Amino acid sequence: MITPRKGDIVSIPLNLQGQQTGEAWDPARDEAAGEQCKAYGAPGLMRGPIRMRISWQDDNTVKLETDYGPQARLLRFRAGPAAGPRSLQGITSAEWIVRGGGGRGAPRFGSLKTITNNLRPGYLRKNGVPYSERTRFTEHWDVHSLPNGDKYLVNTNVVEDPVYLQAPFQTAIHYKLERDTSKWDATPCDARF
């Protein structure tokens, strides 16, 4: 995966303020401010070249660790209002969305829906494309199994930001299940390409 060059905003519905903010991006300024992880907040992180470890932290919390950053997100079932200090990973509430099961014995399926608020400002891309602290990040997580046994996790997500976006920004990212952890390679945050 190659990081787009500064100013490359193709497919992102930035408004004029978002475009100007992206054009003013300076990685040296982020480094000097200790903000080299701004591209690793939840809305940007999920678009990066990541590997994930997903586990249950407790009965009501899924822990999602990534080797890109490295970062950890907590997906909370029974989360209350988004309170507390803002962070790059924000506060994420989770719920199971179950479909099917129309009759006795009918198959049931579904997905995990998460909503993240309480974010610190960050970048949608590592090239300075901004999102604000008013961002709402909604995700649907679906598992797909192929006939050959391969499994994919599809993360369909929507970024809504009234400050920098003129419309919601939606993408679908596909992750393939790896059978071992030999490729896990935690790399530190980096403000540069």
Q: What is the pTM of this model?
A: 0.90
Per-residue confidence (pLDDT) for residue 48, from 0 to 100: 82
pLDDT string in tens for the chain (193-residue length): 566 777 778 889 999 999 999 999 999 999 999 999 999 999 999 888 899 999 999 999 999 999 988 889 999 997 566 677 899 999 999 999 987 666 666 555 689 999 999 999 999 998 999 999 999 999 999 999 999 999 999 999 999 999 999 999 999 999 999 988 899 989 899 987 6
Rounded to whole angstroms, the Cα distance separating 172 from 106 reads 28
* DSSP E strands, 59-117: 61-66, 68-69, 71-76, 91-100, 108-117
Per-residue confidence (pLDDT) for residue 101, from 0 to 100: 61
Rounded to whole angstroms, the Cα distance separating 127 from 12 reads 13
Q: Measuring CA to CA, how many Å separate 154 from each of 38, 76, 149, 177?
A: 24, 19, 16, 11
Four-residue CA torsion sign, 155, 159, 165, 170: positive
Per-residue confidence (pLDDT) for residue 27, from 0 to 100: 93
DSSP conformational letter for 101: -
Per-residue confidence (pLDDT) for residue 66, from 0 to 100: 94
Rounded to whole angstroms, the Cα distance separating 186 from 177 reads 18
Q: Measuring CA to CA, how many Å separate 67 from each of 21, 82, 85, 95, 181?
A: 28, 26, 24, 25, 11
DSSP conformational letter for 39: G
